[in-house]
Amino acid sequence: MSHVSSLSRDVPLLERYRQFLPITDQTPIITLHEGNTPLINAPRLAANLGVRELWLKLESMNPTGSFKDRGMVMAIAKALEAGSKAVVCASTGNTSAAAAAYAARTGLECIVVVPAGKIALGKLAQALMYGAKLLVIEGNFDQALDMVRALAEAHPITLVNSVNPYRLEGQATAAYEICDALGDVPDYLALPVGNAGNISAYWMGFQRYHAAHLVESAPKMLGFQASGSAPIVHGAPIAHPETLATAIRIGNPASWQLAVNARDESGGLIDHVSDDEIVAAWRDLAALEGVFCEPASAAGVAGIRKLMREGRGDAGGRYVAVLTGHGLKDPQLAVEQFTVPAPIPAELDALERVLNL
Ligand code: F0G
């Protein structure tokens, strides 16, 4: 039994969920061992939030440290199948890391366009190390996305942002995994919303599993934008989005309508959380459960806390919060939350003195 399950862990994501993916005999089964991420119970944080059951889907454990690898492996496989030689994306950092990695793995050229000064250091390091052609614009993500859409229309370069439908197909595998792990659907799925692809992909995935009679219902989708970047909540694009959660610093999401459909069809909601609420949830995830995600990833937990505080939550519910990216991508912001102590002499009594021992 354990032998079989350890073998199945090595099956590439595209193979494991092949029947739910747009894979043909011509699609190359590429992999960096994405997917199959842990779903861990979080009892201390659940008690802190006041909910019965909370699970954390650790998408940070993907090969480039974010959920983007699921969509990217599918998009790059289809680009290869179509004979493409180059891919392009706009990014707040994680999409570019994933695109650059899978392009490197398969010998494609990769162009990434990112907003100046608003990319976490680890993500910048990834694009550079994986050998992407990095372009930094004096503008934000929304402007970068407009630029690369136009570029891909005018030249033989495949766009691998989530407007590429293969991205959402790949990302839907996270919903399949949650159902497979729980043997059922949770009552609520909470996650951050930026360009709004992921909430749309999850909803598509849960609906597919339901339609295939693998689960008996679908969860309510709870999406959370940062308060300074909450166009869906306000019902209008935001020209100058701001938030310290740079991954979701987006003012005009490409999958806006799909996200609204996911919200309405599931009976869920899309709300906003302040940067202070995001930081508090981010720190609690690390300090109460030993899970270090990036700031944007904490928006789902911040949102559950807000709903509970305002009496709109469900104390008896079973929640899954998706932790979309790894904390080590943005170490600077983490360290800035604290005062790093001044050095002490390298002697035992100095240590004992500081520890009051
Ligand atoms: N969490 C993280 C860590 C992200 O990087 C993103 C999006 C999201 C949440 C939001 O997901 O866009 O599907 O609603 N990052 C994109 C990027 C925009 O370029 O890496 P979404």
Q: What percent of the chain has pLDDT over 90?
A: 97
Q: Which of 167, 213, 183, 181 is nearest to 322 (CA)?
A: 181
CA of 195 to the centre of ligand 1 (A): 6
CA of 193 to the centre of ligand 1 (A): 7
Q: Is the dihedral of CA 125, 336, 223, 256 positive or negative?
A: negative
Q: Ligand 1: which of 56, 57, 72, 92 to mutate, judged by most atoms within 8 Å of the beta carbon?
A: 92
Residue 161 CA: nearest ligand 1 atom is: 19
Residue 31 and residue 56 in contact, taking contact as beta carbons nearer than 8 Å: no
Give the model's pLDDT for residue 2: 39
Residue with tokens 């790059």: 76
Ligand 1 pocket residue status of 66, Cβ below 6 Å:
yes
CA of 350 to the centre of ligand 1 (A): 45
Averaged pLDDT for residues 328-339: 96
Residue nearest to atom 11 of ligand 1 (CA): 194
Ligand 1 pocket residue status of 325, Cβ below 6 Å:
yes
Q: Give the pLDDT band of residue 9 (cuts 50, 70, 90).
A: low
Q: Ligand 1: which of 96, 126, 135, 195 to mutate, judged by most atoms within 8 Å of the beta carbon?
A: 195
Give the model's pLDDT for residue 10: 81
Give the model's pLDDT for residue 162: 95
Ligand 1 pocket residue status of 251, Cβ below 6 Å:
no
Averaged pLDDT for residues 17-34: 98
At residue 74, does pLDDT exceed 60?
yes
Averaged pLDDT for residues 296-305: 98
Structure tokens at 156: 């033989």
Give the model's pLDDT for residue 3: 40
Give the model's pLDDT for residue 160: 98
Averaged pLDDT for residues 289-299: 98
Q: Ligand 1: which of 57, 60, 94 to mutate, judged by most atoms within 8 Å of the beta carbon?
A: 94
Ligand 1 pocket residue status of 294, Cβ below 6 Å:
yes
At residue 283, does pLDDT exceed 50?
yes
CA of 94 to the centre of ligand 1 (A): 7
At residue 5, does pLDDT exceed 80?
no
CA distance 103 to 96: 10
Averaged pLDDT for residues 232-242: 98
Residue 285 and residue 291 in contact, taking contact as beta carbons nearer than 8 Å: yes
Ligand 1 pocket residue status of 69, Cβ below 6 Å:
no
Ligand 1 pocket residue status of 60, Cβ below 6 Å:
no
Averaged pLDDT for residues 86-99: 98
Ligand 1 pocket residue status of 324, Cβ below 6 Å:
yes
The DSSP string of 3-25 is HHHHHHHTS-HHHHTGGGTT--T
Residue 65 and residue 325 in contact, taking contact as beta carbons nearer than 8 Å: yes
Output the average pLDDT for the chain: 96
Residue nearest to atom 4 of ligand 1 (CA): 247
CA of 83 to the centre of ligand 1 (A): 27
Give the model's pLDDT for residue 7: 52
Averaged pLDDT for residues 138-166: 98
CA distance 95 to 357: 49
Ligand 1 pocket residue status of 225, Cβ below 6 Å:
no
- Long-range contacts of residues 104-107, Cβ cutoff 8 Å, at least 24 apart: 104/130, 104/131, 104/132, 105/30, 105/32, 105/76, 106/28, 106/30, 106/76, 106/80
CA of 324 to the centre of ligand 1 (A): 8
CA of 198 to the centre of ligand 1 (A): 8
Averaged pLDDT for residues 168-196: 98
Q: Ligand 1: which of 198, 225, 273, 293 to mutate, judged by most atoms within 8 Å of the beta carbon?
A: 198
Give the model's pLDDT for residue 309: 98
Residue 90 CA: nearest ligand 1 atom is: 19
CA of 192 to the centre of ligand 1 (A): 8
Averaged pLDDT for residues 118-140: 97
Residue 223 CA: nearest ligand 1 atom is: 14
Q: Give the pLDDT band of residue 39 (cuts 50, 70, 90).
A: very high
At residue 8, does pLDDT exceed 90?
no
